[in-house]
């Protein structure tokens, strides 16, 4: 049973975001650290999470905690999502960070559920246009290989800047999964998608962009939809692992538009220069 004294001790631990308790009295610690560290940062991440967990657990043991304790950062993200959904939250030190970490875990869990259901999805009778199956859906192993690759790329997806570009890339990934990869996995392959300007994907992404920034992002949107359209021209028999990864890398590979520098207001010297350069013999065009 969770005691009030445990809450007091948890407040002394800045690395602790939340504590969950199972029906059997086991505790799960949600630390502030990312659940998907970069490969080159894994060693330092492991040491930091171990140090933080030891401090927290030691305090709880001194207060009389008898049950087991687990650290959510060390579990598969599907298990983290299940614990966050089903266990009781006994302590919350940072609501914002807790929501962020829970969202990451839930997104990975949703990917796992998607792949599991696609393999067992009931297939319709293929039409003449759908008789050739895409190679990346030949087996469950192929689908899981794609999922493992996407999971390994998580630090890249989560590190996209600015935030608007990250939202656009992840929303494009969702569209690809729902409109292209999922139907292909179920045997419903089709290369016919409305990918023009103003099409379904265009409209979906445009809704995420503030009205005053849409003009600047229009070239970005045009590149994304045109590159996806080009990818769909590849014969279905060549829709392999490399092709599927290519789809998911298209939006990621396009940088955010560069914001133009703010217009400088002419001062006293600027006004004098304008009056001088107004003379045809001294104009900038004449000098150049």
- Distance, in Å, from the CA atom of 258 to the CA atom of 260, rounded to the nearest integer, reads 6
Bridge partners (DSSP) listed for residue 28: 20, 70
Report yes or no on 110 lying in a domain: no
Q: Give the pLDDT score at 274.
A: 39
- Distance, in Å, from the CA atom of 239 to the CA atom of 181, rounded to the nearest integer, reads 10
Average pLDDT over residues 50-75: 90
Q: Give the pLDDT score at 130.
A: 45
Average pLDDT over residues 122-148: 62
Number of domains making up the chain: 2
Report yes or no on 62 lying in a domain: yes
User: Is residue 112 within 8 Å of residue 120, measured between CB atoms?
Assistant: no
Q: Are residues 196 and 244 in the same domain?
A: yes
**CATH code at position 35:** 3.30.460
By the 10 Å C-beta count (0-12 exposed, 13-18 middle, 19+ buried), 219 is classed as: exposed
Report yes or no on 288 lying in a domain: no
Kindly state the tokens that stand for 251: 């939006």
Kindly state the tokens that stand for 59: 């305090």
Report yes or no on 93 lying in a domain: yes
- Distance, in Å, from the CA atom of 130 to the CA atom of 127, rounded to the nearest integer, reads 5
Q: Are residues 69 and 160 in the same domain?
A: no
Q: How many CA atoms lie within 13 A of 77 on its CB side?
A: 21
Residue 276 has pLDDT above 50, yes or no: no
Domain enclosing residue 85, as ranges = 4-98
Query: Which pTM does this prediction carry?
Result: 0.48
């Amino acid at each position: 049973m969770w005691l009030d004294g445990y809450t007091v001790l948890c407040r002394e631990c800045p690395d602790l975001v939340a504590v969950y308790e199972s029906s059997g009295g086991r505790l799960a610690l949600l630390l502030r650290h990312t659940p998907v560290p970069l490969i080159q940062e894994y060693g330092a991440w492991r040491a930091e999470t171990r140090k933080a967990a030891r401090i927290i657990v030691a305090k709880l043991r001194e207060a009389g905690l008898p049950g087991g304790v687990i650290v959510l950062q060390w579990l598969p993200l599907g298990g983290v999502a299940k614990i966050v959904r089903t266990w009781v939250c006994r302590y919350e030190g940072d609501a914002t960070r807790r929501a962020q970490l829970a969202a990451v875990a839930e997104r990975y869990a949703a990917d796992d559920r998607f792949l599991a259901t696609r393999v067992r999805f009931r297939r319709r009778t293929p039409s003449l246009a759908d008789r050739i199956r895409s190679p990346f859906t030949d087996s469950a192993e192929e689908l899981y290989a794609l999922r493992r690759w996407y999971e390994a790329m998580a630090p890249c997806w989560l590190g996209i800047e600015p935030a608007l570009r990250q939202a656009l890339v992840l929303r494009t990934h969702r569209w690809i999964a729902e409109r292209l990869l999922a139907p292909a996995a179920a045997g419903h392959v089709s290369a016919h998608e409305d990918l023009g300007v103003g099409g379904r994907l265009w409209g979906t992404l445009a809704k995420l962009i503030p009205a005053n920034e849409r003009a600047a992002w229009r070239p970005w949107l045009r590149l994304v939809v045109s590159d996806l359209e080009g990818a769909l021209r590849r014969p279905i028999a060549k829709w392999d692992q490399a092709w599927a990864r290519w789809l998911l890398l298209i939006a990621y590979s396009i940088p955010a538009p560069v914001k133009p520098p703010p217009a400088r207001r002419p001062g006293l010297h600027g006004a004098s220069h304008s009056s001088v350069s107004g003379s045809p013999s001294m104009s900038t065009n004449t000098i150049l």
